[in-house]
A = this chain, B = another copy of it.
Amino acid sequence: MAARYDFASDNVAGAMPEAIEALIAANQGFASGYGTDHVSRRAADLIRALLDVDAEVRFVASGTAANSLVLAALAAPHEAVICHDDSHIATDETGAPGFFGSGVGLVTLPGASGRIDPAALARTLAEPEVSYRQSPAAISLTNTTEYGALYSEAGAAALLGAAKERGLKAHLDGARLANAAAGGFPLRRLAGMGFDVVIMGGTKAGSTPSEAIVLVDRTLARRFDARMKHAGQLVSKGRYVAAPWIGMLETGAWQTRAAHANAMARKLAARMPFPILHPVESNAVFVEMDEPTLQRLYAQGWQVYRFLDGSVRFMCSWATTDEAVEALAAALKQVA
């Protein structure tokens, strides 16, 4: 039986046609290097328009790199970044923030479904500074969260407000910002909420490898290209990293295809025979499933992951089909 990766992650899908077509269109003639080209400029313009913000924009091929690059700009090595216990930067990036940030620390906080608990944040912010601990210089939110939950504008703004009162900077890991936007998170309010930097995910939304670094606080842009080059993140043929965004944003597909992914998750949730453990607010369904059952599902070829909290995760993407949901639902029913 052939392995089926459809629901293993949203990065197992290929690239959407709009992204590929834009990439092909960018493959014309000569262009200046290192992100100074016309393609990168156009993609940046589209992002500024979408977010309604006069930000500097850069493109890199890895979300881990995007997050780490900017966290190193927001916190000194002897400082720390506040994030959720199960955030990607804390659990899935092989310590990359510490590498880019020369040992910068992470202060991880609990919270239901990947959203930082405001009371936990308040306690952390109230702690006295001591020389033998890394005091926080920034806060990082992830939207949608690792558990597919959505921060509301008010929820994000409240956390950022508390953090900024103490002088912290704010970072948004938006690897799944398209899904958040499709779920109602207002893109044009990101600056207003207080984010200094937004990582806007292309890859999981359906691009070839590309993430946009949106420097809302433009003072961070000083020598940022040198920072990228120094960290091996400024590719010479930059147009190929930027191009997919033109296709995805000019057509609106970045968001409409995320809406499709979200809808597929809701559909799967509706057919789910196992207890659902997190709110289905985007493109993921997390369920309770014992190990023998999961093994039976594996035996049928379905590749999925048991996640950090012990739940089993099913991810939908722009490429998820009705048929795939039906097939999975049937398999789940059978193994249940």
- Cβ of A104 within 8 Å of any chain B Cβ, yes or no, is yes
Across the interface, which residues of B come within 8 angstroms of A64, CB to CB? 229, 232, 234
**Residues of A2-44 contacting chain B, CB below 8 A:** 4-6, 8-9, 11-15, 20, 23-24, 26-34
Across the interface, which residues of B come within 8 angstroms of A226, CB to CB? 78-79, 94, 129, 131-135
Of chain B, the residue at the smallest CB distance from A36 is: B131
Q: A104–B95 contact, CB under 8 A?
A: yes
Q: A30–B15 contact, CB under 8 A?
A: no
Q: How far is A132 from B308 in the complex, measured between Cα atoms in Å?
A: 13
- Cβ of A214 within 8 Å of any chain B Cβ, yes or no, is no
Of chain B, the residue at the smallest CB distance from A26 is: B14
Q: B227–A78 contact, CB under 8 A?
A: yes
Q: How far is A5 from B30 in the complex, measured between Cα atoms in Å?
A: 6
- Cβ of A144 within 8 Å of any chain B Cβ, yes or no, is no
Which secondary structure dominates chain A's binding surface?
Answer: loop
Q: B230–A96 contact, CB under 8 A?
A: yes
Q: How far is A76 from B99 in the complex, measured between Cα atoms in Å?
A: 11
- Cβ of A69 within 8 Å of any chain B Cβ, yes or no, is yes
Q: B103–A101 contact, CB under 8 A?
A: yes
Of chain B, the residue at the smallest CB distance from A320 is: B30
Across the interface, which residues of B come within 8 angstroms of A240, CB to CB? 15, 208-209
Across the interface, which residues of B come within 8 angstroms of A12, CB to CB? 30-33
Across the interface, which residues of B come within 8 angstroms of A309, CB to CB? none
Interface centre among A63, A105, A135, A240 (most CB of B within 10 A): A240
Q: How far is A28 from B12 in the complex, measured between Cα atoms in Å?
A: 11
- Cβ of A142 within 8 Å of any chain B Cβ, yes or no, is no
Residues of A within 8 A of B (CB): 4-6, 8-9, 11-15, 20, 23-24, 26-34, 60-66, 68-69, 72, 76-80, 91-105, 129, 131-135, 203-204, 208-209, 223, 225-237, 240-241, 303, 319
A-B contact list, 22 entries, CB within 8 Å: A11-B33, A12-B31, A14-B27, A14-B29, A20-B24, A20-B27, A62-B233, A65-B232, A77-B98, A77-B227, A78-B95, A78-B227, A79-B223, A91-B133, A95-B103, A97-B103, A103-B230, A129-B226, A132-B229, A133-B226, A208-B240, A209-B236
